[in-house]
């Protein structure tokens, strides 16, 4: 570090658990960028001053985590189409004049899915959930031309509202609500709800067979195998947990921050090391 070290960071509350400082700092070192990435735990009332201070202090970019992904939006100058639809921003970069907000969560998930399955074009996908994560993932899946997107949610109206918004953006896409999950699930199944974080519950009734699924995914990364993924594995179905989404939302943010290709393996190793230390997740 010297007088020219550039500063990036993450705002949220809390942020002490975040893996991003280690992951991004390792990436800067690997590609030879003189920069650091720090956690900033701030209160909601400080948010406007925080963004002003970042400009004065020459913070060049930052990530946004819970609970400010929506609250930060009024303080930005430009918001990407994806972030606008999702209604949340997780990555902000300063272009020398304006703060520009993006959302890399859905992109991160889709990148992780493609790493596992290759192209996802033409696949049928069922999403469980209609919250912020489902929104960003649905948008990114439709950009990849999935053949059919089916959405289930505990609160039906929220799913219907999401489908309407998505249909307006992708008029040719086949997007449907499913109100009871069939006895057999097919294609790619993705859990975006928080059900399974406790390591005990599953969003799917045990009577639903996963045999015909091509892949079962969960955005939860701790535990690394939720009950849903465990039952898919038992049925011999390939599974994907949320670690890849965490990694690739970070690599996409890094590329937005620096305009430099992210050192994916360095970032993956940092993330896996952090997960192992924090949760004994492998």
**Considering the rule CB under 6 A, would residue 193 count as an interface residue with ligand ATR?**
yes
| 69 catalytic residue (yes or no) | yes
For the window 139-158, what string marks contact with ligand ATR as x by the rule CB under 6 A? --------------xxx--x
**Considering the rule CB under 6 A, would residue 129 count as an interface residue with ligand ATR?**
yes
* Residue 112 near residue 146 (C-beta atoms within 8 A): no
Q: Which stretch binds ligand ATR (CB under 6 A): 14-22, 27-35, 179-187, 193-201?
A: 193-201
Q: Which stretch binds ligand ATR (CB under 6 A): 107-115, 131-139, 172-180, 208-216?
A: 131-139
- At 6 the three-state DSSP class reads strand
For the window 64-83, what string marks contact with ligand ATR as x by the rule CB under 6 A? --------------------
Minimum gap (Å) between residue 118 Cβ and ligand ATR? 26
Looking at beta carbons only, is 121 or 161 nearer to ligand ATR? 161
* Residue 282 near residue 47 (C-beta atoms within 8 A): no
Q: Which stretch binds ligand ATR (CB under 6 A): 30-38, 51-59, 124-132, 205-213?
A: 124-132
Looking at beta carbons only, is 193 or 231 nearer to ligand ATR? 193
DSSP H stretches of helix in the chain: 20-31, 47-56, 81-86, 105-117, 132-143, 156-169, 227-234, 243-258, 264-279
How is residue 10 written in tokens? 């993450």
Minimum gap (Å) between residue 262 Cβ and ligand ATR? 24
Exactly one of 4, 69, 143, 214 is catalytic; name it: 69
Cα angle: 154, vertex 156, 161; to 5 degrees: 130
Looking at beta carbons only, is 123 or 133 nearer to ligand ATR? 133
Taken in order 186, 192, 197, 203, the sign of the CA dihedral is negative
Minimum gap (Å) between residue 228 Cβ and ligand ATR? 12
Minimum gap (Å) between residue 151 Cβ and ligand ATR? 9
Orientation angle between helical segments 20-31 and 243-258, nearest 10 degrees: 50
Q: Which of 38, 131, 144, 233 binds ligand ATR (CB under 6 A)?
A: 131
Minimum gap (Å) between residue 161 Cβ and ligand ATR? 10
Binding-site size, ligand ATR (CB under 6 A): 15
**Considering the rule CB under 6 A, would residue 126 count as an interface residue with ligand ATR?**
no
Q: What is the number of other CB atoms lying within 10 angstroms of the CB of residue 129?
A: 26
DSSP 209-247: B-TTEEEEEES--SSSS-HHHHHHHHTT--EE-THHHHH
Give residues with Cβ within 8 angstroms of 126, minimum separation 6: 150, 151, 152, 178, 181, 185, 186, 187, 188, 189, 190
Q: CB burial class (10 A; 0-12, 13-18, 19+) of residue 1?
A: exposed
- At 26 the three-state DSSP class reads helix
Residues of the shown chain interacting with ligand ATR in the complex, contacts defined by CB under 6 A: 129-134, 153-155, 158, 192-195, 203
What is the set of active-site residues? 69
């Amino acid at each position: 570090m010297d007088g020219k070290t550039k500063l990036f960071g993450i705002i949220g509350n809390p942020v002490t658990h975040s893996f991003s400082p280690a992951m991004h700092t390792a990436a800067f070192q690997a590609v030879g960028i003189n920069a650091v990435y720090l956690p900033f735990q701030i209160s909601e009332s400080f948010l406007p001053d925080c963004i002003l201070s970042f400009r004065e202090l020459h913070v060049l970019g930052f990530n946004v985590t819970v609970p400010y992904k929506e609250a930060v939006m009024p303080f930005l100058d430009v918001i990407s189409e994806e972030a606008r639809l999702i209604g949340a921003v997780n990555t902000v970069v300063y272009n020398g004049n304006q703060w520009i907000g993006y959302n890399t969560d859905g992109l991160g998930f889709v990148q992780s899915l493609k790493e596992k399955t290759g192209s996802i074009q033409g696949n049928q996908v069922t999403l469980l959930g209609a919250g912020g994560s489902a929104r960003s993932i649905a948008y990114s899946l439709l950009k990849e031309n999935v053949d059919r997107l089916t959405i289930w949610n505990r609160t039906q109206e929220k799913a219907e509202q999401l489908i309407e918004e998505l249909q307006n953006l992708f008029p040719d896409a086949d997007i449907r609500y499913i109100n009871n999950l069939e006895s057999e699930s097919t294609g790619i199944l993705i859990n975006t709800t928080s059900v399974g974080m406790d390591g005990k519950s599953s969003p799917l009734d045990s009577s639903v067979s996963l045999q015909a699924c091509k892949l079962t995914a969960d955005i939860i990364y701790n535990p690394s195998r939720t009950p849903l993924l465990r039952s898919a594995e038992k049925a011999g179905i390939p599974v994907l947990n949320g670690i890849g989404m965490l990694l690739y939302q970070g690599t996409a943010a890094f590329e937005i921050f620096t305009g430099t290709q992210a050192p994916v393996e360095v970032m993956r190793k940092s993330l896996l090391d952090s997960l192992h230390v924090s949760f004994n997740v492998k």
